[in-house]
Amino acid sequence: MSTYDNQQHEGITKTTEKTHDEHVEDSIAGDLEKGKDLNSGNAEHSDLGAAWLAEYTGPRNEITDEENNAVRKRIDAFLLPMIFIVYFTQQLDKSSLSFASVFGLKTDAHLVGQQYSWLSSLVYFAQLVFQPLSVYALVKLPVNVWISICFFGWGASLCIMSAFTSFAGLAVWRFILGAFEASISPSMLVVVSMWWTRREQPLRNNIWYSANGMATILGSLITYGLGQAKTSLHPYQLIFLVCGLIAVVLSIPFFFLFPGHPTKARWLNDHQKYVSLERIRLNNTGTQSTTFKWSQVRECVLDPKSWFCVVNVFCISLVSGGITTFGPLILQGFGLSTFDTILYNMIPGAIGIVSNILSALAVTYTKRKFPVLLVASAFPLAAAAALFALPRGAEHKSKLLGVYFILQVYQCISPLFFSWQFANTAGHTKKTTTTGMLFVGLSVGNIVGPQLYKSSEAPYYHTGLTANLIVLGIMFGLIICQGLYLHMLNKRNIKRRIASGKTGAHIDLSLENSSKWQELRAKQRAGQVADGQLEGEGAYNDQAFMDLTDLQNEDFIYSL
């Protein structure tokens, strides 16, 4: 196995590019001074994977395709269902408000004016306020403990929320629910980054994110049944209570079954844990460090690619926030009855699942995210324009439904942005800060989106649809800019490697199928590939578990 020796350590420190921004130079020098040899056993400032590897006494062989596939399948079988269930229940609880709106929530809870819109936005205000806590907790606490606390908390909040029949009570507990939900999507991104390679991440991220569509489908069915139940409770109260209880009950076994780190998984033996870490070494993004590094926070805030993705996530979240909250009401404006609206609302859920899986497979096959994002963005852009222009009424129902369903392709865009940003961010504090920034953009977009759909404009909602057209156009342009910027960073890292005495080009094995690893490693060791010279693996990826950021590590290859 490759090790990071003192000579390489000093070489990196000496050859850091002088043309870097000053803050990057300072953080590189500081972290490399603090960084320890992976085999020394002292990993205070390194990754938790480094600490475990320092104590590991088993064979340190080059992992094979068979070993990689066996461990990956085991990880998929144990983790993916749990991640999917957590996100499903979050989306079910959050979406319960829009389901309840069809069954007289506004009347039964005495909501007037924009109060319904504010109930939707309050979740995202809470997420906005609690993002800093989420960032800090994801560094200092085991991820399984933090997720379990939040899981139980938002379920209990929704149960309590069912007791209120006025805006004030609903608003307070809707805010508390949002506070507990603030960490869930960021936590899922952290989990995926520490268990799967960059080639595998888009599909896994889109699988758990497709729970959003599943929540729409099953939530519609549950709501359909609960809406017809004869009880002393208002329909919305019964909906809130049942959805909340599902989360409370599921959070208990989750706490005991979900591992906080690959080295803590009871269903992996020591050699399988070793394989799981060596798989992630290829990403050059590490797993987790419990040292909170303010230098990485500063670097993240000053990194242009962070802001490209924040603005993009804001744009798609503005679209999502409005459509998610007012989707059932928009459908009613097409001339559908109450129960038809609930049943038709299942179709966008199915479209979300299919578009998520297809777009992730396209990314896996092409090894490129920005072309797939451009194609995916074209669908909601065209649909929003058509929905703005088409008249309303039962006689236009078929056209309106067709356009509305095309619009739902937007659901695959957010997870692709998350995968893109996380694949291009290294350093645990920087990764968690990145998630915080992304979900600030997400929260602001979801706050603004519903406010642009004014009840007085029903059933056309021209203000909301005009805003959708504007932000989707901005997003389309920024995707191109982000792709060009990442290409520039890759060119810069080639120059940095040459300056440090390495050959400039590298093969990014994290984007390749493991069946090709043996062949590509042989070419690396031979020092030749078709597109240029490659050095052996002895130096490449040795810094993967030093908790360096992507800007600090010249071996880092940005995923386009």
From the number of C-beta atoms within 10 Å of its C-beta (0-12, 13-18, 19+), residue 394 rates as exposed
For helices 397-407 and 304-332, the axis angle rounded to 10 degrees is: 160
- Asked if pLDDT for residue 13 goes beyond 70, the answer is no
What single string gives the DSSP state of each residue in 466-486? HHHHHHHHHHHHHHHHHHHHH
- Asked if pLDDT for residue 17 goes beyond 50, the answer is no
Residues 43-63, mean pLDDT to the nearest whole number: 81
CA–CA distance, 159 with 234 (Å, rounded to integer): 14
- Asked if pLDDT for residue 538 goes beyond 60, the answer is no
Write b or e for each residue in 109-122: b if 16 or more Cβ atoms lie within 10 A of its Cβ, otherwise e.
bebeeebbbbbbbb
Exposure on the CB side of residue 22, measured as CA atoms within 13 A: 0
CA–CA distance, 223 with 139 (Å, rounded to integer): 38
Instruction: Give residue 198's pLDDT band: very low, low, confident or very high (50, 70, 90).
Output: very high
- Asked if pLDDT for residue 177 goes beyond 80, the answer is yes
CA–CA distance, 350 with 227 (Å, rounded to integer): 22
CA–CA distance, 91 with 360 (Å, rounded to integer): 20
Per the CB < 8 A criterion, the answer to whether 543 and 12 are in contact is yes
Torsion of CA 547, 550, 552, 554, to 10 degrees: 120
Secondary structure element (H or E) that encloses residue 532, with its range: strand 532-533
CA–CA distance, 61 with 241 (Å, rounded to integer): 53
Q: Which residues contact 107 (CB under 8 A, 6 or more apart)?
A: none
Secondary structure element (H or E) that encloses residue 372, with its range: helix 370-389
- Asked if pLDDT for residue 336 goes beyond 70, the answer is yes
Q: Phi/psi zone of residue 427: left (φ > 0), alpha (ψ -120 to 50 degrees), beta?
A: left
Q: Which residues contact 406 (CB under 8 A, 6 or more apart)?
A: 379, 380, 382, 383, 386
Instruction: Give residue 204's pLDDT band: very low, low, confident or very high (50, 70, 90).
Output: very high
Confidence (pLDDT) at 284: 84
The string of pLDDT tens digits covering residues 316-329 is 999 988 887 677 77
Q: List alpha helices for 390-461, DSSP H.
A: 397-407, 413-423, 428-451
DSSP-based three-state secondary structure for 366: helix
Confidence (pLDDT) at 534: 43
166: number of Cβ within 10 Å: 11
Confidence (pLDDT) at 505: 65
Q: Which two tokens stand for residue 309?
A: 């993705």
Phi, psi of 533 (to 5 degrees): -80, 140
The amino acid sitting at 287 is T
Q: Which residue has tokens 């303010």? A: 294
CA–CA distance, 516 with 149 (Å, rounded to integer): 41
Per the CB < 8 A criterion, the answer to whether 244 and 162 are in contact is yes
Share of the chain above pLDDT 70, in %: 88
Residues 496-514, mean pLDDT to the nearest whole number: 78
Pick the CATH number of 65-487 from 3.30.420.40, 1.10.940.10, 3.40.50.1010, 1.20.1250.20: 1.20.1250.20
Confidence (pLDDT) at 525: 65
Q: Which residues contact 389 (CB under 8 A, 6 or more apart)?
A: none
Residues 190-202, mean pLDDT to the nearest whole number: 92
Can you say how many angstroms the Cα of residue 261 is from the centroid of all Cα atoms in its chain?
A: 18
Can you say how many angstroms the Cα of residue 51 is from the centroid of all Cα atoms in its chain?
A: 27
DSSP-based three-state secondary structure for 42: coil
Secondary structure element (H or E) that encloses residue 245, with its range: helix 235-257
Confidence (pLDDT) at 219: 85
Question: Among the listed ranges 204-213, 347-356, 518-527, which one has the minimum average pLDDT value?
Answer: 518-527
Instruction: Give residue 299's pLDDT band: very low, low, confident or very high (50, 70, 90).
Output: very high
Confidence (pLDDT) at 471: 95
Domain coordinates in residue numbering, the chain: 65-487
Confidence (pLDDT) at 45: 52
Confidence (pLDDT) at 11: 38
Q: Length of the chain, please?
A: 560
Write b or e for each residue in 336-350: b if 16 or more Cβ atoms lie within 10 A of its Cβ, otherwise e.
beeeebbebbbbbbb
Q: Which two tokens stand for residue 173?
A: 């507990």
Torsion of CA 373, 379, 385, 389, to 10 degrees: -170
